[in-house]
Structure 1
Amino acid sequence: MDKLNAQAILHFLKHEIVRHDPVGLIDGGAPEDEYDTEIGKLISHLLKTEKSEQKYYEVIHDVFSELGEVKEDICRVLAKNILKEL
Structure 2
Amino acid sequence: MSSSNARTQERELTFEEVDAQIQNADLSEFENQDDANAQSLDLAAQLKKVCSVYKVVKPILSLVGNAPFLPSSWKSAVKTFNSVMSTICV
TM-score (norm 2): 0.29
Query: Which structure is higher in RCO with an 8 Å CA cutoff and minimum separation 6?
Result: 1
Bigger radius of gyration among the two? 2
Return the structure number with greater helix share.
Answer: 2
TM-score (norm 1): 0.30
